[in-house]
């Protein structure tokens, strides 16, 4: 442990960000791995002590933040993987409309593309990076106000239709489509 490596480079590989997940059971670790599969880099450990041990080995950048309450994040992740959006919710790509039961609302291209990603992977968290690459065709840079603006508009449209689904933000990670 004498040689400390910076978090920005792990074993010579550039890393944009590192997500550390804590899950005590093998089932929770598998669910968390599926949830974080779109992340640039992630580490899943069994307990807080393992996370602290790892963090003691790497040099944390000044902007890094460790978020406690890992159990609630794991519980939310596990629930999100088990609750797909209602079957009455559909995106009509030919006409670029969102349909909830017998009601429809028009979508812009960006709204359509974001919603299409979320609908085709119900409950799965789409990282900011992955969504940006899929919808905008480039790497996610900066604060992502463009993405948040689109998500806000889609949430309003879902609410106007009284749909039983909305877009949930997973703080610091991305978005997922989930039941209201």
Give a yes or no: residue 95 inside a domain: yes
* 3-state SS assignment for residue 79: helix
Give a yes or no: residue 151 inside a domain: yes
- Are 30 and 96 in the same domain? no
178 bridge partner residues: 166
Q: What is the CATH number of the domain that holds 108?
A: 1.10.10.10
DSSP per position, 18-78 = -EEEE-SSHHHHHHHHHHTTTSSSEEEESSHHHHHHHHHHEEPPTT------HHHHHHHHH
pLDDT digits (tens, 9 = 90+) for 75-88: 455 454 445 556 78
Give a yes or no: residue 6 inside a domain: no
Give a yes or no: residue 68 inside a domain: no
pLDDT digits (tens, 9 = 90+) for 101-122: 999 999 999 999 999 999 888 7
- Are 157 and 93 in the same domain? yes
- Are 27 and 105 in the same domain? no
- Are 160 and 96 in the same domain? yes
Give a yes or no: residue 172 inside a domain: yes
Give a yes or no: residue 35 inside a domain: yes
Q: What is the pTM of this model?
A: 0.57
pLDDT digits (tens, 9 = 90+) for 1-34: 333 344 444 444 444 566 777 777 777 777 777 7
Q: How many domains does the chain have?
A: 2
Give a yes or no: residue 1 inside a domain: no
CA separation for the pair 55, 124 (Å, rounded): 27
* Residue ranges making up the domain that contains 148: 89-179
């Amino acid at each position: 442990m004498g040689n400390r490596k910076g978090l920005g480079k792990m074993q010579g590989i550039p890393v944009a960000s590192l997500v550390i997940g804590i899950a005590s059971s093998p089932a929770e670790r598998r669910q968390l791995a599926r949830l974080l599969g779109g992340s640039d880099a992630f580490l899943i450990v069994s307990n807080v002590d393992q996370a602290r041990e790892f963090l003691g080995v790497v040099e944390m950048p000044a902007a890094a933040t460790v978020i406690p309450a890992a159990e609630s994040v794991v519980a939310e992740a596990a629930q999100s993987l088990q609750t797909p959006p209602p079957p009455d919710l559909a995106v009509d790509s030919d006409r670029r409309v969102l349909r909830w039961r017998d009601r429809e609302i028009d979508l812009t291209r960006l709204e359509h593309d974001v919603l299409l990603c979320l609908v085709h992977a119900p409950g799965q968290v789409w990282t900011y990076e992955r969504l940006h690459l899929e919808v905008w065709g480039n790497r996610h840079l900066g604060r992502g106000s463009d993405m948040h603006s689109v998500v806000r508009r889609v949430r309003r449209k879902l609410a106007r239709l009284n749909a039983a689904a909305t877009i949930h933000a997973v703080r610091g990670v991305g978005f997922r489509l989930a039941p209201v």
